Amino acid sequence: MIKEHRLKISEGVKKNLPRTAFKKGRKHTEEFKENLSKRMSGRIVSKETRKKIGKRNKVIMKEKWKSGNISKATRDNLFKSGDNRIGKETQFEKGHMPWIKGKTHSKETRKIMSNVLSEQYKEGTRVPPMLGKKHSEETKETIRVKKIGSKLSIKTRKKLSRSLKGSKSYLWKGGITPISTLKRHNSDWKIWRESIFKRDNFTCQNKRCVYCKNIKGVMLHPHHKIPVAKDQSLMYEVSNGITYCADYHIKFGGLHKNIK
Ligand SMILES: [Zn+2]
């Protein structure tokens, strides 16, 4: 009988089955506990075994947590001992300094974390924190104020653009826009134009321009010094761009013909 029972337990451990031998409410007798402690005293558990035990315990606790099969006292105890990896809530006190602050996870760790998260989202064991909820007006205002004056880096803008481009866009109609138009509406173009305007201090570079008097605040156009028709590779080359006011660019330039 005992042998059979032991076999069952060892099989269960191997298969990582939840422990069922101990039903809730049942307790070891004092005698049994004493015996157990006698048997275990002086026994050195190898590091490997300890790791194994830890791993298994974590699995068990996670399962218990998921099924809500955990008493309030145990929950509190876990928090007290700092083991808040199992639960969803955390109990950091105000002013607690996160260990990761000022450090970064390695690339591999980040990859692992991302995989775990996306799996959890797919399985439905994790829900996006704001799903179905709305920020309060107060929070919205705080976010708005915080965002004022902050700018996205060029790298981020390119990333954002790529993530919403073409077939990923909700406006995608199967690639019907002519390439010439596309080239003037992508993030490369926008960044190219912005770089030129910035370099030229947002003023028309036509010396003593009769159209804009070289003041700020007029409609500006970026112009290719060497036309793209002549050299495709200079399309987004900042040194090949120059700022002109729209009037000079269109009226005098007659769409490029007279500008040199
Ligand atoms: Zn001008």
Per-residue confidence (pLDDT) for residue 79, from 0 to 100 = 66
Distance 250 CA to ligand 1 centre (A): 10
Distance 196 CA to ligand 1 centre (A): 15
Q: Which tokens is 147 given?
A: 């965002």
User: CA dist 86 to 76, 79, 80, 81, Å?
Assistant: 12, 9, 13, 12
Distance 149 CA to ligand 1 centre (A): 29
Instruction: Kindly calculate the radius of gyration of the chain based on its CA atoms and give it in whole angstroms.
Output: 33
Which ranges constitute the DSSP H helices of the chain? 2-15, 30-40, 47-66, 72-80, 107-123, 137-147, 154-163, 179-182, 187-199, 246-247
Distance 186 CA to ligand 1 centre (A): 25
253 falls in which pLDDT band (50, 70, 90)?
Answer: low
Average confidence (pLDDT) over 134-150: 90
Distance 77 CA to ligand 1 centre (A): 73
Distance 101 CA to ligand 1 centre (A): 51
Tens digit of each residue's pLDDT (9 = 90 or more) over 151-196: 888 888 888 887 777 777 766 766 666 666 666 677 888 889 999 9
CB neighbour list of residue 143: distance below 8 Å, 6 or more residues apart: 135
Per-residue confidence (pLDDT) for residue 198, from 0 to 100 = 93
The listed range with the strongest mean pLDDT (12-16, 34-38, 98-102, 242-246) is 242-246
CB neighbour list of residue 228: distance below 8 Å, 6 or more residues apart: 183, 234, 235
Tens digit of each residue's pLDDT (9 = 90 or more) over 25-81: 677 788 888 888 888 777 777 888 888 888 888 888 778 777 777 777 877 777 666
Tens digit of each residue's pLDDT (9 = 90 or more) over 77-105: 776 665 545 555 555 666 778 888 888 89
Distance 179 CA to ligand 1 centre (A): 29
Contact 212, 245 (CB under 8 A): yes
Distance 192 CA to ligand 1 centre (A): 20
List the chain domain ranges: 1-20+51-94, 179-252
Closest Cα partner for 105 from 120, 95, 93, 117?
Answer: 117
Q: What predicted TM-score, i.e. pTM, was given to this entire model?
A: 0.38
